[in-house]
Every structure is written in C-alpha cells, then in structure tokens.
A and B are shown apart, each in its own frame.
Chain A
C-alpha cells in the first residue's frame, strides 16, 4: 500500500475509532463495573455481570426467546424464501427484474411503519385473529412469540431470498438436465445437485437473518408487547428502562456480540473451506 492510499484511509479510520472502537471500549469497561441501589455506576473489575447473564434462573427465558426465535425465523425464511428465489432465478431477464423489484418494494416504506401495520393486523380484533377464531383457533398473536415470529419472518425474508437467488441465478441449468439424463428424478436432482450448489447462498442468507434477529429490538418490542423478552429488548430496558442497570446491560451487549462473532467466524471459515469452485 503506498502512502497516498494510506492517507485516504485516515478519515475512515478516525471515524471508526471515535464512534465504534471507543464506545465499544466504554461498554466493555462498564460491563466490568457495578450498579449502586440508586442506579449509578461504580467502576470496578468484576465478572459478576457476566455470571448473571448466564444465570439460568433469570435468563432461561431471554436466551430461549432470542436463540429460539432467531433459529425459527431463519428456518421459516429458508423454507419460504428458497422457492421464491428459485422461481425468480428461472424466469427471463425482464420478469426477473420485475420480481426482484417486488421483493424490494416493502423496503421503500419505513420499517417502523410496516411493523405498526402488523400490529394492526395481529390485534385480537384484527381479521387474522377473527379468521382463526372462526375455525376454532383461539390464538394470541399480539404479545406472544408467534406474533413476534411472524413479524421477524416478514422483516427478514428478503435477506434470505437475495443470496439464494444470487447462487441459483448463476447455476448452469445444464447440470440439472445432466442429472435427469443420468436417471435422477426431480427430487433427486434437487437434493443432489441444485441444493448443494446453492449452499453458499443458503448459508449467507441464514447468517444475514440469524445474526440481526438475535439482536432484534423493534419487532419484539412492538409485537411482543413486553411479554416476549429477547436480548435486544432487555438490553434497551437495562439502559433506558425505569430500573436501569448499565453494567448488566453492557455485559449482555458484550455476550450478544460474542455470539454474533462466533456465527460469523464459523461462516467465514466455511467460505474458505469450500473445496470446489462453483
């Protein structure tokens, strides 16, 4: 790298240092401190907050909610998104662009507005609930994990569709014909050829859904109505809630970040380990 390129890097580096690395350091320092009964922070060096994050008595619910909902959202997005991606990838160029545009359209509206729309749809007096009630299903949607799950799937589905589409779009359909020619049924050629070849897209999509859902805040806050404590919601409460506990909130944030880093490390290791070139 020559000196000029290095000079060009400086503004970005300074920005990251000031607004990313430094705040992260502050969070780390806070997480090692302690909270006084009146809510102030006492600086210190103890791992008590971390032990509390992993205390099953308090945290089984949030852990379960965050990991469980992130996993379920990822699975549902995969099952719903894969056929969509496949269908789009097999169309002609003009239809492709139109369909891709339709997938993006919701993004043109503010996310908060769209989640509020779901809030209205999922109300007990909303048509979805009454439809379910008419077939004998008394299901609380709002303020339940189910409602949050619906909102999360809705919000993150495009993040699954796009990477899968990208890999399927490059897939040479002659490979599928070759499989048919050698006697494979549609089902066999899907599982033996198409799916394995689209795996990089599936994994990228899974990471793009799983990682942000783990830290999701708005959807569980609004559609969960405080009854579906996911990590994001709890962290916000610890910092901005009536009974604040910054050191505990900071420790939770650090643990969440560690989890995300774990997932990403696995993902990048997977990327470099792929032996064939698609």
Chain B
C-alpha cells in the first residue's frame, strides 16, 4: 500500500450560503508532485488552505502523514505554505525572513545561521541575505518565499499559484527550478494552479477541480488522453466534441452515428446499441489528406486558417451542423475554401463517461 502524505476524506466547506467544496476526497502520495488544477473559484485554494489549517472543513477528515489533523492548528502541522503573493515580512531582511520558522523552533543561533545559508544556496540567493524584500525582483521574492517554507524541512510543501505574478519567461524558468527543488528535497509538493500547461508539465499526478468537486485524478497523460468529463476535456487542451448514437457494437469496436456521418471507435467499456454518446477528438489527432484518399474518414471544407507559429489551426466544416478544429504543421499549402479529407485512428476517439458535465 502506498504511503500517503496528505489524505482528504469527503471534505465539504461552505462560506455563508455558497458551497465551496463538496465531498472532496484526495490521496497524495509521499514525495509526489501533485497539482490541483481548475478555473478560479473552483475551490482549489480553499482545499490548500484546509490542508494548511487556515480553514476548517464543515465535514470530512484531513490526515497528514497518516495522522488525523482535521483540527490541528497550522502551527503544529508538518506542512508549509508558499503564499500566492509570497507574504514576505516587509520589515525583516531576507535572512531574517528565512530564519523565522527556525527561530520559532528555538534552535541555537549557529544551527539557524547554517540552515538559512543552506536554504538560500538551494534557491540560489546566496549573497542577498541582508536585502529587504522590496529591494528584490518578483522572481527573487518568490525564491525567498520558497526558502522560508523549506528551511524548516516540512514533509509537505503547499504552493498557491506561486508563479502567477511572474512573466512568461521567468515562469518557465521557475517551473524547472521548482521541479529541481522537489527532486533534491524529495518532499511532497501540492501545487495549486489554473494553468493547465503548467500542471501537465510539472505534475506527477493532478486533480482537476470544478465547482467544489474533484472531477478527475490521474497522471497528466491519463487526464489528457482519457478525460472523464466534458469539462476536463475542455479545460485541458483543445477538443472537438462529437455527439452521436451507437449504431453497431462488436467486440471493443463500435460504430457511432453523428448526424449523417459515421465513425468507428474503440472503447474499453461496454456500450449498447442506440446509446447516446459524446466523443472527444483532440485537434492534433486529426490528419488532413486529399479528399479522394482511400482511408479518409470524412471530407470537409476548410473554413478558416489560424496561424499559431509552429502550428496551423484549421476550421473544417464536415456537415451543416458540425465543424472540427484540426491542428497540423503550418507549411502544407492548404488554403481556405479548399476541400480536404480527414483521417484519424479509431483509438483517438474517446467516449466521455458522462454525457455532459
């Protein structure tokens, strides 16, 4: 059995008349990089604050390192939080900020000095110890916040959209830095973000949240390849949704009727003939070919081309009510108004477990 760093059981939380969390259950394994992903207002920050101990759940239980912690005050939890706006103490120097947690543990001065030095080294801020926070850049402040949180060696580090205030370049740099830090420290990271790209590239596993519920938990690949609901498919990457009805079923292969069109799919779960079904088809899984190509699935008219650097996005109308988004290499000479064939592997079509969410 896996050892869990943090376990949430059926957590619910209301603020006044608004339900913020409803039956949230999560198990975060020791040493993993776990992300809570969702749009703003989905409850991810509240979940993090419940783990940190700043909010107490209305119902449900929190376990930290296997020990019940639902009512443990934040001071006594073996978790540290990196705040969204860093929350650095403005009247203390970088060194004093980092030393704060160690001073609260009443460690000897020499030990504090040594560990502060090591933490600053780890976040590559050695030499800036005597500066005040306002004398640092945003990226440097971020590193101070990290050093302050890791210096007390918590078993779990909570990060609340820590890169939200940084520009793109710095963001990408800090993403790598955070991964390196997590590897070197070997502690559990729980990372809150609304940026799906960030969650996919950094996490070992992630939970997608929406309206106070966890919709799906899994590795980035599982979630991207097998989105459980329409919301997950829409939130993570781009998707085409095909609504249809199963017309034929044999083995794991089925034929789905979508309007006047038909396509083959491969399904892991049993389907029934005549059952309504929603299929997800990622734009990059569709190939464009000549309209007369033999293994084409459908044909359509290119309505629109959107240039996006290395990629080109095509809007292809396949029937009066259905247009698909296709992405492909930009230099293939296709122009608007052209008639094209579309082809894909039946395995690329993923049925959603719910019809809509």
A positions within 8 Å CB-CB of B: 172, 174-175, 177-185, 188, 192-193, 196-197, 275-278
Beyond A192-B100, A277-B134, is A183–B87 a contact (Cβ under 8 Å)? no
Stretch at the interface among B17-25, B73-81, B110-118: B73-81
A178 touches which of B83, B91, B134, B152 (Cβ 8 Å): B83
Is the C-beta of B90 less than 8 angstroms from some C-beta in chain A?
yes
Q: Which residues of B contact A183 (CB under 8 A)?
A: 75, 101, 104-105, 152
Interface size bucket, B side? 20 to 34
Are the C-beta atoms of B100 and A180 separated by less than 8 Å?
no
Shortest B151–chain A CB gap in Å is: 9
Question: What is the bound-complex CA distance between A185 and B74, given in angstroms?
Answer: 10
**Which B residue sits closest to A278, measured CB to CB?**
B90
Q: Which residues of B contact A275 (CB under 8 A)?
A: 132
Are the C-beta atoms of B83 and A174 separated by less than 8 Å?
yes
Q: What 0/1 readout, one digit per residue, does chain B (84-108) give for beta carbons within 8 Å of chain A?
A: 0101011100000000110011000
Question: What is the bound-complex CA distance between A277 and B54, given in angstroms?
Answer: 27
Are the C-beta atoms of B91 and A197 separated by less than 8 Å?
yes
Are the C-beta atoms of B104 and A174 separated by less than 8 Å?
no
Is the C-beta of B282 less than 8 angstroms from some C-beta in chain A?
no
Is the C-beta of B207 less than 8 angstroms from some C-beta in chain A?
no
Are the C-beta atoms of A182 and B90 separated by less than 8 Å?
no
Q: What 0/1 readout, one digit per residue, does chain B (111-149) give for beta carbons within 8 Å of chain A?
A: 000000000000000000000111000000000000011
Question: What is the bound-complex CA distance between A184 and B134, given in angstroms?
Answer: 23
Q: Give the number of residue pairs across the A-B interface with Cβ within 8 Å.
A: 61
Are the C-beta atoms of B81 and A179 separated by less than 8 Å?
no
Q: Which residues of A contact B236 (CB under 8 A)?
A: none
**Which B residue sits closest to A188, measured CB to CB?**
B104
Are the C-beta atoms of A181 and B81 separated by less than 8 Å?
yes
Are the C-beta atoms of B104 and A184 separated by less than 8 Å?
yes
Are the C-beta atoms of B75 and A276 separated by less than 8 Å?
no
**Which A residue sits closest to B54, measured CB to CB?**
A177
Is the C-beta of B52 less than 8 angstroms from some C-beta in chain A?
yes
A182 touches which of B54, B85, B132, B148 (Cβ 8 Å): B148
Task: Offer 5 A-B interface pairs, CB within 8 angstroms, sorted by A.
Answer: A172-B85, A182-B148, A193-B89, A196-B91, A276-B91
Shortest B346–chain A CB gap in Å is: 51
Q: Taking each of A178, A184, A275, A278, which has the highest tally of chain B beta carbons within 10 Å of its own beta carbon? A: A178
CB-contacts of B24-72 with A (<8 A): 52, 54
With A181-B80, A193-B89 already in contact, 6 other A-B pairs whose C-beta atoms are closer than 8 Å: A172-B87, A177-B81, A181-B81, A182-B104, A183-B101, A183-B152
Shortest B158–chain A CB gap in Å is: 9
**Which A residue sits closest to B100, measured CB to CB?**
A182
Q: Which residues of A contact B105 (CB under 8 A)?
A: 183
